[in-house]
Structure 1
Amino acid sequence: MHEEALTGGNMTQVVRVGDTVRRSAGRWTPTVHALLGHLRERGFQRAPEPLGMDESGREVLSLLAGAAARYPLPDYALSDATLREVFAMVREYHEATVDFPLPAGASWQWPAREPFEVICHNDIAPYNTMFVAGRPSGLIDFDTASPGPRRWDLGYAAYRFVPLTDPANPDVPYHGVAEQRRRLALAVTAYGSTDIQPAKVLRAAIDKLCALVAFIKAEAAAGDPAQLAVLERGDTDIYQRDIRYLVEHTDQLAAG
């Protein structure tokens, strides 16, 4: 069948074949497929359905409708409506994972983090969110999923969707600390858990960015070509500048 290369990602080669997506598999793929199957059983339909492996050893997933948002982001990706819908969708996803039975010999690409409250997606961002007519419709790319606390997912989602960035971040517009504080509170309210507060999400965003910088540098030093490209592109410099900004403005951003 005809294969159409799907652009946008920079970690693995992804192709479309008919109504399916094919991508290279890893040791974590069986565990991730078990998770995706569990989501379907729990009624969460906004993630790809696992369809096994093809003759080339690639994983096969159902193709979700819509398209992911790419940088520079369209206006709808940073609207208040999108922020509310994304964080409500993340809550729905998290609730569908709380009773996920870990398969024997479960393997994850990214390390698990305590406390093990849910199965974190670990990369909730516009580029992994499908949109239909400008509205969030699903999540893709669960390769980096692993057990962890809810706030770990929410921290990175807030970093990308609020967004919690320094004024010099080249990817998104900057509207000031007050607007970031308002949108962070809006995101937390949309998630709808009394255990989740802006200060916890902000702290998780800082910790996640620190972990991401360490991961990129370690993998690049080990010779990973994808992470070498990320390092050479200057992404870690952006993340480190954003970390400093969030630390400096923590009290203002988490107020209320």
Structure 2
Amino acid sequence: MRIGDTVRRPLRPFSLTVQAYLGHLRDAGFTGAPVPLGVDGRGREVLSFVAGQVHRHPLPAQAAGQEVLAALARLIRALHEASAGWEPPPGAVWGGTPTDEGRVTERAELVSHRDYATGNVVFRDGLPAALIDFDLAKPTTRLYDIANALWYWAPFKWGDPRDRAPALADADIPHRVAVFADAYGMTARQRVELAPLAVDMAHRYYEGSRASAKLDPVFRRHWEDGGKDVLARAEAWLRETGPAITARLCRPG
């Protein structure tokens, strides 16, 4: 619920941990996230309202350009720089899907957003400027965070031609990935490891969604309404296209 320049949300087990993280981002000078404002008298968490525009899938033409990818990559890089070195408070609780129960990624490098779904990226003046909905934030790796962004924005999830938005029907996705990589400043190792990680991520998303569908009606509805088919096609497409993505990322110059 929006009240003035604030947003009020139900307090959940992970809310105070996420508020601590958002407070660190604020103190580190990162302006692309809500500011945490504590808990109100009705027991709701309070966040600053983030003004701007969000886009849903299928992405419209004005949100599908290469300049959007580059701006998103720079925004995520700034988030990573602000996040680096932050230690979660003792007893930190993280959110997650019904099947992961907040498990922390192995070899975590930093805490980050981890859910760059199109509706979580706020645009201003036609470009990504902020991120909202940090419910899935938790310790992770930079490369996983990059792969998650590309899942929605390259897009890996809708790489199969049958699932693409009209604005991306003829998109050169390996090239789009390279645009993001260059703007972020991905290392040589990250470029080599990205496509294999994306294949593994797609498989885990499929298996996790299938398991979640058995536990939660919301996930079940999404799964049965075509989610299972899109995820299966995404994994198959990534397995086929992964070598081309790696080749493009590692091309000299």
In the superposition, the TM-score normalised over structure 1's length comes to: 0.87
Q: 1:81 aligns with which of 67, 73, 93?
A: 67
SS in 2 for 1:66: coil
Q: Give the counterpart letter for 2:145 in structure 1.
A: D
Identity %: 36
1:58 to partner: Cα distance: 2.4
1:147 to partner: Cα distance: 0.7
Indicate conservation of the 8 Å contact 1:167/1:174, yes or no: yes
**RMSD across aligned positions (CA):** 1.7
1:221 to partner: Cα distance: 1.1
Name the CA shift for 1:175/1:18 in 2 (closer, same or farther; >3 Å). same
Q: Does 1:41 align with 2:35?
A: no
Indicate conservation of the 8 Å contact 2:58/2:164, yes or no: no
After superposition, give the CA deviation of every residue in 1:216-243 in whole Å (9 maximum; x if it has no partner). Answer: 2222212x22212221222122011111
Q: Give the counterpart letter for 1:201 in structure 2.
A: L
After superposition, give the CA deviation of every residue in 1:196-221 in whole Å (9 maximum; x if it has no partner). Answer: 54342222322222222222222221
Q: Which residue of 1 aligns with 2:184?
A: 191
* CA–CA distance in structure 1, aligned partners of residues 17 and 113 of structure 2: 13
Q: RCO higher in 1 or 2 (8 Å CA, sep ≥ 6)?
A: 2
* CA–CA distance in structure 2, aligned partners of residues 251 and 190 of structure 1: 21
Q: Which residue of 2 aligns with 1:175?
A: 170
1:107 to partner: Cα distance: 1.0
Indicate conservation of the 8 Å contact 2:195/2:243, yes or no: no
Q: 1:225 aligns with which of 192, 202, 217?
A: 217
Q: Give the counterpart letter for 2:173 in structure 1.
A: Q
Indicate conservation of the 8 Å contact 2:83/2:110, yes or no: yes
Q: Which residue of 1 aligns with 2:99?
A: none
How do 1:75-224 and structure 2 match up within 5 A? 75-110=61-96, 111-164=103-156, 165-171=159-165, 173-175=168-170, 179-195=172-188, 197-222=190-215, 224=216
1:171 to partner: Cα distance: 4.1
1:40 to partner: Cα distance: 0.4
Give unmatched runs, 5+ long, in structure 1: 1-14
In the superposition, the TM-score normalised over structure 2's length comes to: 0.88
Q: 1:238 aligns with which of 221, 230, 235?
A: 230
Name the CA shift for 1:180/1:198 in 2 (closer, same or farther; >3 Å). farther
1:170 to partner: Cα distance: 4.7
1:195 to partner: Cα distance: 4.8
Q: Which residue of 1 aligns with 2:3?
A: 17
1:136 to partner: Cα distance: 1.0
